[in-house]
């Protein structure tokens, strides 16, 4: 559970993240894994991504969130 003193900032960060134009258009958003760990934690991000039915991948210290429910194919 997120401590009460941190939750309002974490909630604000989540709202801001998922209010991006790319999200509304079903696109992708990218955030630094280090920033996510520092600001809200991976568990919270995973919860929010799952709740919305999106997909999340991690590569080279970055999280990429696919803001749609389309399948993801790794081509190479």
Q: Does 29 fall in a domain?
A: yes
Q: Are strands 55-59 and 28-32 parallel, antiparallel or unpaired?
A: unpaired
Total count of domains within the chain: 1
Q: Does 75 fall in a domain?
A: no
Burial of 40 (0-12, 13-18, 19+ CB in 10 A): buried
Angle (CA) 5 57 76, round 5°? 165
Q: Does 72 fall in a domain?
A: no
Q: Does 16 fall in a domain?
A: yes
pLDDT tens column, 57-70: 999 999 999 999 99
Q: Does 32 fall in a domain?
A: yes
DSSP string spanning 34-59?
HHHHHHT-HHHHHHHHHHHT-EEEEE
Q: Does 18 fall in a domain?
A: yes
| Residue-range definition of the domain harbouring residue 38 | 7-66
pLDDT tens column, 5-57: 556 799 999 999 999 999 999 999 999 999 999 999 999 999 999 999 999 99
Mean pLDDT of the chain: 92
């Amino acid at each position: 559970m997120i401590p009460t003193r941190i939750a309002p900032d974490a909630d604000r960060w989540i709202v801001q993240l998922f209010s991006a134009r790319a999200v509304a258009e079903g696109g992708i958003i990218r955030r630094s894994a280090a920033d996510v760990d520092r600001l809200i934690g991976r568990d919270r991000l995973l919860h929010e991504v799952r709740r919305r039915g999106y997909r999340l991948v991690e590569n080279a210290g970055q999280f990429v969130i696919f803001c749609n429910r389309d399948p993801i194919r790794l081509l190479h």
